[in-house]
């Protein structure tokens, strides 16, 4: 507001939450929009020990908790160490930052003045190009600069990553079964009550004959049964 660059720190879960934290502290939204230009969220993750770390495969449980599909993760760069004298048997030596950066754009300013929810601010930040600390950590873990377990431990969940994971799970699950169209019960076949399986007499061919069942109606009966009547039964 006065032309001075002021750098400050704030404790929040992520970078977009800095806005609601400032409002909670009593700062008016119009003052935030006129003075806040950039927010950087940071977590520190441990770095695998340079002496004892070696390439490892990802733990399936960790991948599941992070919402990652094993088939889509290139594990070639993953590293972890069992621990040695250099790293005090921890497997880690040093730390690096995982970051997310929110640039306060015109659209974000409108949301702040309108006292939009934290979720809406975060969605707009992601739409504006923000990469979450978890996404930044995953990229660094896959490059061997930290571990997946550290990313899981120090970063808050990323709703965008979780949404993509649930979409993948939905795509892999079998499609729901087609609703069964109820079929009407089969219509009872008309059947002549006087039919018989007895072979007909050649002298008195029956007047009624069924090709499906080859049942015969006695020649003495005169009732119609609805079946076709060939002239010469076989
Ligand atoms: Zn070590």
Predicted local distance difference test score (pLDDT) of residue 77:
87
pTM of the entire structure? Answer: 0.67
Ligand 1: distance of its center to the CA of 43 in Å? 22
Ligand 1: distance of its center to the CA of 35 in Å? 46
Ligand 1: distance of its center to the CA of 47 in Å? 10
Separation between Cα atoms, residue 64 and residue 82, nearest integer Å: 23
Separation between Cα atoms, residue 55 and residue 38, nearest integer Å: 37
Ligand 1: distance of its center to the CA of 64 in Å? 27
Q: What is the pLDDT along the chain (234 residues), one digit of tens a residue?
A: 788 999 999 999 999 999 999 999 999 999 999 999 999 999 999 999 999 999 998 888 998 888 888 877 777 789 999 999 999 999 999 999 999 999 999 999 999 999 999 889 998 998 888 999 999 999 999 999 999 999 999 999 887 777 777 777 676 655 555 556 666 666 655 555 555 545 555 555 555 554 444 444 444 444 444 444 444 444
Separation between Cα atoms, residue 180 and residue 182, nearest integer Å: 6
Separation between Cα atoms, residue 101 and residue 144, nearest integer Å: 22
Ligand 1: distance of its center to the CA of 195 in Å? 94
Q: Identify which of 219, 230, 229, 177 has the alpha carbon closest to the alpha carbon of residue 194.
A: 219
Ligand 1: distance of its center to the CA of 140 in Å? 19
Ligand 1: distance of its center to the CA of 147 in Å? 14
C-beta neighbour count of 73 within 10 angstroms = 16
Ligand 1: distance of its center to the CA of 93 in Å? 7
Ligand 1: distance of its center to the CA of 95 in Å? 14
Ligand 1: distance of its center to the CA of 227 in Å? 92
End-to-end CA distance of the chain: 108
User: Virtual CA dihedral for 169, 170, 171, 174, nearest 10 degrees?
Assistant: 110
Separation between Cα atoms, residue 167 and residue 63, nearest integer Å: 16
């Amino acid at each position: 507001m006065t032309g001075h660059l002021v750098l400050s720190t704030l404790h929040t879960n992520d970078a977009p939450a800095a806005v609601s934290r400032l409002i909670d502290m009593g700062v008016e939204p119009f003052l935030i929009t006129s003075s806040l230009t950039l927010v950087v969220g940071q977590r520190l993750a441990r770095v695998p020990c340079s002496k004892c770390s070696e390439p490892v495969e990802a733990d399936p449980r960790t991948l599941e908790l992070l919402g990652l599909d094993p088939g889509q993760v290139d594990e070639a760069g993953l590293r972890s160490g069992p621990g040695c004298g250099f790293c005090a048997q921890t497997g880690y030596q040093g730390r690096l930052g995982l970051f997310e950066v929110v640039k306060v754009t015109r659209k974000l300013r409108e949301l702040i003045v309108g006292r939009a929810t934290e979720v809406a601010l975060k969605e707009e930040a992601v739409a504006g190009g923000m990469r979450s600390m978890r996404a930044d950590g995953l990229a660094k873990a896959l490059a061997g600069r930290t571990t997946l377990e550290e990313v899981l431990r120090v970063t808050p969940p990323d709703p965008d990553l979780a949404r993509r994971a649930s979409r993948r799970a939905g795509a892999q699950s079998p499609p729901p079964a087609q609703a069964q169209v109820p079929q009407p019960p089969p219509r009872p076949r008309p059947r002549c009550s006087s039919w018989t399986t007895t072979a007909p007499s050649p002298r008195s061919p029956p007047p009624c004959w069924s090709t499906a069942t080859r049942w015969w109606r006695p020649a003495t009966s005169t009732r119609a049964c609805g079946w076709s009547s060939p002239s010469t039964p076989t």
